[in-house]
Chain A
C-alpha cells in the first residue's frame, strides 16, 4: 500500500491531508477527490471565480507528491498545442540529410521495386515518436508514476476541443493517426477540469466526469481557511473581516468577492497592523476586495452599517 493509497483511503484522511497542506475543504470536496481516486474518474469543478478550483488540483498534486501538468485553455486551443505536434524543423533537417545519403542507401539495389523496398525499410520514421513533441495531455499519459492533470478553464476552449478531450477522459488514451493509440503508461493521471461557467459544457463531457460544484464557503469554513492561509491574523479581526465579506456577498454586486479576495484583504490588514475594522479603514482598502468602481460606489454608502454589524456580531 503506497502513501497515496493510504491518504486516499478515506474521506477523513483526505480532509486531514488537505488541511496539513493549508487547503481547508468541505467534506463534499474531499469526497470528490476520494471518488476521483478510487473510481479513476476525472472531476469537473465548477463554481464562481476565486473559490479555489485550481488550488484544489494544485494541492492534490502537492499532497500526493505527484507532478502537476497544467493545460490552460483558451479560444483557439487545438490538438497541436494540447496533445502533440511534429517537430517540423527536425523533419526538414532530416529530409535534407537523407537526400544526400539516398545514393548510399540505394546502392546496389537492382531495379525500381528493390529500391522502393529499401526505402520502405525506413518505415515512417518521420512520423515516429522521435519526431514528436508531446504536449500536456500526452505528457500526462506518459508519466510513469501517475500525475495530476489540470485542464484549467475548459469553458474558454472551443467545442471542438471538448470533443477532443472525450477520449482521454474516458479511456485515458489518445489516438494519433500516424502512430496509433497511446495509452496511459501505468498509473492513469488524476484529471481535474475547471470551469467558470462562461458557457455550458457539453453533456458528453459532463457525463464522463464527476461534477463538483464549489460554492462560496460559509462563515465558519471561511474563518478556518483564513486561519490556515494567514495564521498571523488575530482571531477577533479574522472573525470581523469574514463576517464583513459574508455580508458583502449578499449585496447586488457585479463581481462578488471570493475567498482569494478575503485572503488578500486579510494580508492587507495585517500589513497595516490593524486591530479591528473601522469604516475609514474599510473604505481605504475596499479596492482589495472589490474590483469594479461601480461596485465600490455602490457599497460605499453601506460601509458604516456593514462595518458596525461586523464588529458587533
Chain B
C-alpha cells in the first residue's frame, strides 16, 4: 500500500504541490494510523499532512478525487467483479452474458463499463447475420476480449502501459501515439490479423466472430484512450506546464503572446518570491534606544558589575530606494510591463520603488501602483503614457525638474529603454548628473548588444554615464539583474 501512497505523492508533486520526503514519512505514519478503509477519513488525514497552503489544498482535493477514483474502478471493484464472474462461469455467446451482466451491474461502480458491453451486445442483434453460434477466438487478445474479463484486460492494459513507459508522456499530442503503442503491446497485431482472416472466411459463425471482435476492439481502444487520458492528467499535465514555463523564461518578452500573460505573471511572481525569500533574511532592522540588557551585563561583569559600558540592541534597516524609469513607447512597452511587474512583486524586500513612465514626456506612476492592483496599474500606465514618439532628452529633462532632488547616494536608478531617440538631443549631461548623485545607474536595454548603436540608438553616448548597462529581454535576464540589484543594495 505504501506504493500507492508514493505514487499518489508523485502525482501531487506533478500538480505543483511541494512535498518533502519528511512529509512523505509523516503521511505514511498518518496513514498507518487511519488506514485505507474510510475514504473520507483518509482524505482528511492526508489533507492535513501533505498540502500546506489553501491553493495546494485545492489542488490536493482535485488530485485525490482523480487518483483514488481511478484506483477504485479498475482496482478494488474489479476484484469484486472477478469473484462474480468466476462463479457465473464463462458464457459462450456474447449475448447471453451481456444480458446477465446488464442486470448485475445496476448498482456497482463498474456499471458504466458493463453497460457499454451490453450496449453493443444489443447492437449485435441489428446486424443482418442475426444471433447464433459464434466461432471461438484464436488470438490471445481476442480470447480475452471475448471472455469479457475486465480484470485481465485492465491488468494487461496496465502492464502494457508500463512496457511503453506511459508515465513519460509529456504533451497532449502524444496521447494518440501512446494509445496505439499500448494496443500494440497488448497484441493488437494478432487480433487485426485474426479479424481480417475470419471476416473473409465463408462460414457465418466466423463472420459473426469477426464483427464482434471488431466492436470489442473499438471498445478496447476507447478504454485505452481513457486510461491514457487519466494517466496524462496525473503525470504529464504539469510536466507540460513546466516545459511551457521553462520556455517562457527564455523567450523574448516582446514575443510573449497575450494569452500567455497570466502564465508569465505566475512565473514572475514565483521568481520574485524566491528572491524575496533569499533576501528578506538579510534585511536588518535598526532599532535604537533599546538597551540590550544581557549583553550589557555580560560585558560589564568584568568591571565589577558596575554598568558603564552600555550595549544597545542594534539591528539595521537599510531600505533601498529604487527609481525605475521606463520607456513605454510601443517597441519597449512589453518589457516595461514585466519589469514593473517584477519590481512591484518584490515589495517585501524593496518597499520604496518609485516608477516613472515616458515616451516623450515623463510622469510619475508610483501612485497608480499604490492605488490599483498590479495588473490594472500596469495597464493604465501603458494606456496613458505610451503614445507619442520617444524623446529621451525630454524625459531626462522632466526627471531633473521633478525629482532629481530626491536622488541621493542610496538611490538606485534603473532605466529601461532601447535608447532610440529619433535623432533628438540625447541630453547626456542630465544623465551624468543622475550618475553623480545616485548610488547606481543601471540601463537595461531590450535589444541585443550588437544593435545598441545602430541607427538612431544613442547607447554609446549614454553608456558612458551608467554604472552598468545590460541586455534584458527575457525573464531569466530580469531575474538575474534584479537578483544582483538586491545583492548590491543591501
Contact = CB atoms under 8 A, between A and B. Distances in A.
Given A39-B30, A96-B305, A99-B304, A211 B293 contact: no
A11 interface: yes
B216 interface: no
A118 interface: no
A95 interface: yes
A207 interface: yes
B426 interface: no
Interface string B272-286: 010001001100010
B341 interface: no
B48 interface: yes
Contacts of A35: 30, 33-34, 45, 48-49
B48 A95 contact: no
A91 B273 CA distance: 46
Interface in A258-293: none
A41 B26 contact: yes
Contacts of B281: 159
A88 B54 contact: no
B52 A206 contact: yes
Contacts of A208: 22
Contacts of A206: 52
A73 B23 CA distance: 26
Interface residues on B, range: 20 to 34
B72 interface: no
A80 B51 contact: no
A207 B22 contact: yes
Contact of B49 (A27, A86, A99, A210): A210
Nearest to A208: B22
Interface string A13-47: 00000000000000110011001001101011010
A11 B30 CA distance: 13
B20 interface: yes
A85 interface: yes
Given A38-B33, A39-B26, A39-B30, A46 B305 contact: no
B54 A86 contact: no
A218 interface: no
A95 B285 CA distance: 34
A92 interface: yes
Contact of B48 (A31, A200, A203): A31
B40 to A, nearest CB: 8
Contacts of B54: 46, 213
B434 to A, nearest CB: 34
B311 interface: no
8 contacts: A31-B45, A35-B45, A76-B287, A86-B297, A158-B285, A206-B52, A208-B22, A210-B48
Given A28-B44, A35-B48, 18 more contacts: A27-B40, A31-B45, A32-B48, A35-B33, A35-B49, A39-B29, A39-B30, A41-B26, A76-B287, A88-B293, A91-B297, A92-B297, A95-B305, A96-B305, A207-B20, A210-B49, A211-B52, A213-B54
- Please name the 4 residue pairs, one residue from A and one from B, whose CB atoms are nearest each other, closest first: A206-B52, A210-B48, A211-B52, A31-B44
